[in-house]
Structure 1
Amino acid sequence: MLRTMCTQDGMTWLLNSPQQSLAMILADRGFDVWIANIRGTRYSRRHVTLDPSKPEFWNWTWDDLVMHDLPALLDFVFQQTGQKIHYVGHSMGTLMALATFSERKQIDKVKSAALLSPIAFLSHMTTALGVVAAKAFVGEITTLFGLSEFNPKGDAVASLLKALCAQPGVDCYDLLTALTGKNCCLNASTVELFLKNEPQSTSTKNLVHLAQTVRDGKLTKYDYGNAYFNVAHYGESKPPSYNLANIPNDLPIFLSYGGQDALSDVKDVETLLDSLKFHDVEKLHVQYIKDYAHADFIMGVTAKDVVYNQIVEFFRSNQLN
């Protein structure tokens, strides 16, 4: 199963040529590939009772993806195939997986996990645009947008982005680099195709939650802003933390991160690895790629040789789990 960022749909895994796209590489190696979409993106805007034109549809954060969406996906694929799942997550897809595994939801249906550009912790990210955006999302933006859709291609968000890009030290001339860091290995035509399709909608509340993670340096559930509302939702004055030490120590994990990644900063990955310090040594495979930034892991022309072949080998070595 393949999963990526909250403002991208599953097509991101197929933007490169078939010889360079992880989904096609896995399929060619005999794996049954399922590509998942995060709610709110173009292929995940249906609901049995709610309409995406209404604010109620967008009243969610990644907590809901952890509690409901990813467990439902894991269960669905397992029921369809009768086999445990090799999971691949990039960016937001790693956050969802780590939090879900820590809650032990459907963990018995997961065979192994490959986590690319993990973002469980975000307090050291170096992207100037990301930093000013995070400050905005825990401030006035909550009253500006409420709980509704955050549409990157809408007028309101375009105005916000223009204001953020005007901040000192923020250069949005190359928007992808401004957000992800200096990617080493992207094909210009692939980037052009990416920008035609992405980014896509998510909930404003979800971005507020991510901004809280940046601000607080902790991995916790959504903070409702005051003790009364937190008690109403959680029974305590502060939002509970996701304890990554609860992830089963024998779950095979392949973790790959880059030295130029402005979102998944090396220091934050080190914090994540410290949370996994009691993981079985033979079950945790860590790959550091000095020249890679955030987008290189899903669109890099060298990713097949540098990362994907290692993922295939990792999955095959854990096929009997």
Structure 2
Amino acid sequence: MQVWNNNENGFRQMLRLSSMLGIVWWWCCLLVLASAALDAKSQNSSSAGESRMFGGFLFRRRTNQVPDTNEKNSNDIDVEQDEYPLDWSLDYDEAEDKTFHSDDVRLPLDPEAYMTSPEIITNRGYPLEIHHVTTGDGYILELHRIPPRHNGSPAWNGTAGRIHDYETTEGKGRPVFLQHGVFSSSACWLLNPSHRSLAFRLADLGYDVWMGNTRGNVYSRHHVELDPDEDPQFWQYSWDEIGYFDIPACIHYVLAVSGWDKLVYAGHSLGTGLFFIAMIRHPELNSKIHRMLALAPISSKHNLRSPFRLVSPIIARLAVVMDKMPTKAIFDQDMTLRSVQKRLCERNFFKASFCRDVLFLIAGANPDNFDLNLLPSVNAHLFQGTSIRVIAQFAQHYNTGKEIFQQYDFGKKGNLERYGTLEPSVYDMSKVTAPVYLYYGLNDLISTREDSEWAASQLGNVQGLFQVDDELFNHWDFLWSINVNELLYDHILPLFH
């Protein structure tokens, strides 16, 4: 493995950093030019059902798509209209009366794009509790809970206004912990309409639903001593620290508050890998897990198919430089990208399909199973902040060229100081003895079938490895697919019991 020498190669590092920033700049320029071209094209084409190619992407006209408006209420939040030059007056009631026959029709305003996770929960008519957990190394994590109804407490309205009586539901208050992926937050479980959101479906069934937020995202950006805006040490964490500190702290807290001995853990993407680390580093936790559901599991990245693999060598080296700089959050909702998204991705359906296909480029394309009306909320909540080391650890796993699940690579000198070896320590996945169910999609470019099969061969107590019955099912479909109920949730919900 190449180790950078800061004294000899500092100038070379800065040149590479400048080159990378230049590449990013040119991509932004191309996106702006593409936006202008899309405007021109959408003005000149109106035939129903037409498909067009632009920049290598296939854009299908969504001629007969009516927004899915289930459980979306716009009455509980005020949006600053003056901030946006467009007419956002098309609301959900109007949307139900309109069929979007033209690409230049604006996306309807989704008020939940401007809400926090707690606001989304209450906006859907569900009860909410906000809890804070302090980890062993001082990070303060925020958990979002949809609590069960206890004896004597008032009933509440959930999906479609149904009144819930938990004495007759199958969940009976069993705690469920949902853990998001790499740069997301608890919001990832909430964005789909309530009837096809895993968090809300579990709440409807009477489960005690808890959603985690890893250190560094917008909800867990606090520490007992460190200031995330002033202290670079706040951001010096990787998968290893989150798995060692955050996940165990959350599990212990949820069990203590709920009074149960075991919980069901469901993770998406990196939320699965963090669970594996927690169980390996704290073997006693395995006995506290009723079942674990790994949706798009992350461990080895040897068979990564996402274009992320093309920049993995650059990212791994860039992390070395950024570790020595006063860095803050990356992939944060306050980044310029969010402003670009609002200007370029949310103006009309044709341009929205372009931005949707950028997400597909990263994780796999399935255009007929993604509702474009959801794009503003996805854009707003997908990037919630993390550290450069978390991203670099993805790159490091791919760069090894091996099927392996290992700790963060600090370089030979750093590894000797940390692990006592030249190479990073390897996680022994056989120590995960909690019952694990793994689910993968054939079209998932991030969590591939081969890597999922490898994980299943390494874990200590695999109850099943399942392929979602849709050849186009991708990484995002586990959360936001139109058909996620029949393809996935209807099959896994019995496992929470």
Shorter-chain-normalised TM-score: which range? 0.7 to 0.9
Q: Distance in 1 between matches of 2:381 and 2:437?
A: 29
Which secondary structure state, in structure 2, belongs to the residue aligned with residue 140 of structure 1? helix
Structure-2 residue corresponding to 1:306? 487
Q: Distance in 1 between matches of 2:296 and 2:312?
A: 19
TM-score by length of 2: 0.57
Residue number among 451, 457, 461 corresponding to 1:279 in the alignment = 461
Residue 99, structure 1, aligned to residue 280, structure 2: no
Which secondary structure state, in structure 2, belongs to the residue aligned with residue 125 of structure 1? coil
Structure-2 residue corresponding to 1:181? 364
Structure-2 residue corresponding to 1:231? 416
Alignment of 1:116-135 (within 5 A): 116-128=295-307, 130-135=308-313
Q: CA deviation at 1:71?
A: 0.5
Alignment check: 8 A CA contact 2:456 2:465 kept: no
Q: CA deviation at 1:105?
A: 5.1
Mark the runs of 5 or more structure 1 residues left unpaired by the alignment.
Answer: 159-170, 317-321
Structure-1 residue corresponding to 2:407? 221
Residue 253, structure 1, aligned to residue 450, structure 2: no
Deviations 1:116-135 (A, max 9, x none): 0111111211111x112322
Structure-2 residue corresponding to 1:14? 190
**Kindly tell me: are residues 292 and 105 of structure 1, through their superposed partners in 2, closer, same or farther at Cα, counting changes over 3 Å?**
farther
Larger radius of gyration: 2
Amino acid at match of 1:220: Q
**Kindly tell me: are residues 16 and 175 of structure 1, through their superposed partners in 2, closer, same or farther at Cα, counting changes over 3 Å?**
same
**Kindly tell me: are residues 100 and 190 of structure 1, through their superposed partners in 2, closer, same or farther at Cα, counting changes over 3 Å?**
same
Which secondary structure state, in structure 2, belongs to the residue aligned with residue 239 of structure 1? coil
Which secondary structure state, in structure 1, belongs to the residue aligned with residue 264 of structure 2? strand
More deviation in 133-142 or 66-75? Answer: 133-142
Q: Distance in 1 between matches of 2:212 and 2:378?
A: 17
Residue number among 31, 45, 55 corresponding to 2:221 in the alignment = 45
Q: Distance in 2 between matches of 1:173 and 1:310?
A: 27
Q: CA deviation at 1:229?
A: 2.0
Amino acid at match of 2:223: H
Higher relative contact order (CA 8 A, sep 6+): 1
Residue number among 473, 493, 496 corresponding to 1:292 in the alignment = 473
Residue number among 70, 76, 82 corresponding to 2:259 in the alignment = 82
Identity %: 27
Q: List, as ranges, runs of 4+ consecutive aligned residues in structure 1 with deviation greater than 6 Å.
A: none
The CA RMSD measured in Å over matched residues stands at 2.3
Amino acid at match of 2:428: N
**Kindly tell me: are residues 48 and 141 of structure 1, through their superposed partners in 2, closer, same or farther at Cα, counting changes over 3 Å?**
closer
Amino acid at match of 2:486: D
More deviation in 184-193 or 76-85? Answer: 184-193
Q: Distance in 2 between matches of 1:178 and 1:150?
A: 24
Amino acid at match of 1:113: M
Which secondary structure state, in structure 1, belongs to the residue aligned with residue 456 of structure 2? helix
TM-score by length of 1: 0.86
**How many aligned residue pairs are there?**
298
Q: Distance in 1 between matches of 2:428 and 2:416?
A: 20
Q: Distance in 2 between matches of 1:235 and 1:191?
A: 47
Amino acid at match of 2:417: A
Residue number among 379, 396, 402 corresponding to 1:212 in the alignment = 396
Amino acid at match of 2:272: T
More deviation in 146-155 or 16-25? Answer: 146-155
Q: Distance in 2 between matches of 1:264 and 1:306?
A: 17
Which secondary structure state, in structure 2, belongs to the residue aligned with residue 87 of structure 1? strand
Q: CA deviation at 1:145?
A: 5.8
Alignment check: 8 A CA contact 2:190 2:197 kept: yes
